[in-house]
Structure 1
Amino acid sequence: MRSFLFVPADSERKLAKGASSGADALILDLEDSVALSNKEAARKSAVDYLKSADRNGPKLVVRINALDTLFWRAELEAVIPERPDMILIPKTFSGECVNRVGQVIDMLERDAGIAPEGHVGIGCVATETAASLFALGTYAGAHPRLTFLTWGAEDLAAALGARDNKDENGVYTGPYQLARTLTLLGAVAAGVAPIDGICKDFRDEKGLEAEARAAVRDGFTGKVAIHPGQIPVINAVFTPSEDDLAHARAVIEAFEKAGDVGVVALDGVMLDIPHLKQAQRLIDRAAAIRS
């Protein structure tokens, strides 16, 4: 999945708009975008949406409230019988948070008679507190349901008491670059998808594209959006171009023709096995997007 769009679960208008945005996944948000007084109504709205949504459309992800609140358990009890594709846990501290939620989902699925192939995945916003940055290596093996990790600069800035998380040039400052990098490393180490965080200025298309291209360059496989208008840019950037695919095929072909070797030359450049792996991964990713 290339694009994940946050949609407040208590807004029928935004849910409808999100469904037609072209996003690969909709995140039905029960957390930050929902007022405290409207948590119960948002939960009911999410359940209703899961019951009626076209399951041939975008994947449906429910962001529950954090594990230090009174809401998350009741939210899982309400939505799991309706089979969302994934649950997104905010403000996780470590892989133990994934295991805790995973065990509850295991129990709720058994109670609902949901077959193993219907298993709900789990994603985490893994960098929203200072302590969480020290635990990005704990997600490997935390629970079989873990599907992706993403990061959040806004909550982290609030936790740190920062005045801003970007410098005068609009570039993330050190703490947030560190959070982003650790999320990428933690996700890859855990064998799950690394998903880049939001671009909060939804009118800045050039800034969004620059962030997305930097994310692709570094190894992220998708990006979170906060506005439907951001989806076309994200989808375009995270879809391998024909030029990229042609180069990848040429790399693979060069190794195949060379036989059992560790190094080949292509267009005046020496390539070794890591380049072959990169090419194969790109071809596989393009095939997954098409399917």
Structure 2
Amino acid sequence: MTQTPGPAGTWIITPGHMCARFPAAHGCGADVALVDLEDSVPATAKPEARQMARAFFTNPPTRSALGVRISSPTTRDGIRDLAALHGYPAKPQIVLIPKVESARDIEVVAGALDTLGYAPLLYALVETPRALEELPLVVRADRIAGVLFGTADYATAAGCGRAWEPLLHARAALVTSAAAAGIPAIDSPFFDLDDLDGLRHEAEKAKALGFTGKSCVHPAHLPVIDEVFRPSEEEIAAARAIVSAAENAGGSIVRVDGRMAGPPMVAAARALLAREEARTPSEVRA
């Protein structure tokens, strides 16, 4: 079974063993809210986190798409996470798979979770040099819905710094492969919690590179990320003008506000409007 692309935008990740933080994650307004069973949970707390995480998906008052980051399916904890998800009364819409290094990792999770009435959106967390080498195959896995970049683990594995320049090649390769496969690419969190200017600078560069969203671990980062990645009213109006002019011109190159708009610009405008439509609740669009 093939998978349609999943949501982009703002993502927040909350430790699964800290249920007191669940309401904040539900109410923060992120496009996607994930409960974590992997790195943010100590080994001794993982059994407790698997049980607590059930409540994250049980009728929460939220507009966010809800998901879970499991442990790697090639580990004992990952197998236990997958088994635990089967017992959840309410299932996650999204499953983030860490340490993905082959399309087979996606297939294993799909095989473990898919049922006749349930097939979650599967995202691959790319965080090793080996994963980068295998990206052209990973992004074409039948059930993949998107990719995320993990800078901390990647930098550790590659022996490089976590600044923008040392990771530029990996980021560029990731967005290129994701774009070729037609799936969203979400950038890594910015780990300096108090440097909002630094966050904005990195988010702007990630957007310019081709990322369609950015994750975070603290709600204070969400407004900055949302402002960077959500199109302004002016950008939306300009995109509508380009699409309208192109439709009236029968597909010919057109002039809009003094600028040439050929097929690539029209395609970009359509994509912008489609992303905004997907991120806007139906009651707001009505």
Long gaps (5+) in structure 1: 167-171
Q: Cα distance, 1:72 vs. partner?
A: 0.8
CA separation of 1:124 and 1:29: change in aligned 2, threshold 3 A: same
CA separation of 1:271 and 1:160: change in aligned 2, threshold 3 A: same
Q: Which residue of 2 aligns with 1:208?
A: 199
Q: Cα distance, 1:134 vs. partner?
A: 0.4
CA separation of 1:260 and 1:49: change in aligned 2, threshold 3 A: closer
Counterpart of 1:98, as a letter, is I
Deviation per CA, 1:230-287: give whole Å up to 9, x if none. 11111222211111011112212322333342x2223332221000111111122222
| 1:92 equivalent among 94, 97, 100 | 100
Residue 271 of structure 2 corresponds to residue 281 of structure 1: yes
Q: Which residue of 2 aligns with 1:122?
A: 122
**Are the equivalent residues in 2 in contact too, given 1:139–1:187 (CA < 8 A)?**
no
| 1:44 equivalent among 51, 64, 72 | 51
Residue 273 of structure 2 corresponds to residue 267 of structure 1: no
Distance across 2 between alignment mates of 1:221 and 1:278:
13
Distance across 2 between alignment mates of 1:184 and 1:66:
22
> Percent identity of the aligned residues?
32
Deviation per CA, 1:199-253: give whole Å up to 9, x if none. 1112111121222222322332211011011111112222111110111122123
Runs of 4+ in 1 over 3 A off after TM superposition: none
Counterpart of 1:132, as a letter, is A
Q: Which residue of 2 aligns with 1:169?
A: none
Alignment of 1:1-291 (within 5 A): 1-50=8-57, 52-54=58-60, 56-82=62-88, 83-106=91-114, 109-110=115-116, 115=117, 118-126=118-126, 128-144=127-143, 146-162=144-160, 164-166=161-163, 172-174=164-166, 176-261=167-252, 263-291=253-281
Distance across 2 between alignment mates of 1:260 and 1:86:
37
Q: Cα distance, 1:55 vs. partner?
A: 6.5
CA root-mean-square deviation: 1.8
Distance across 2 between alignment mates of 1:220 and 1:63:
20
Counterpart of 1:203, as a letter, is D
Long gaps (5+) in structure 2: 1-7, 282-286
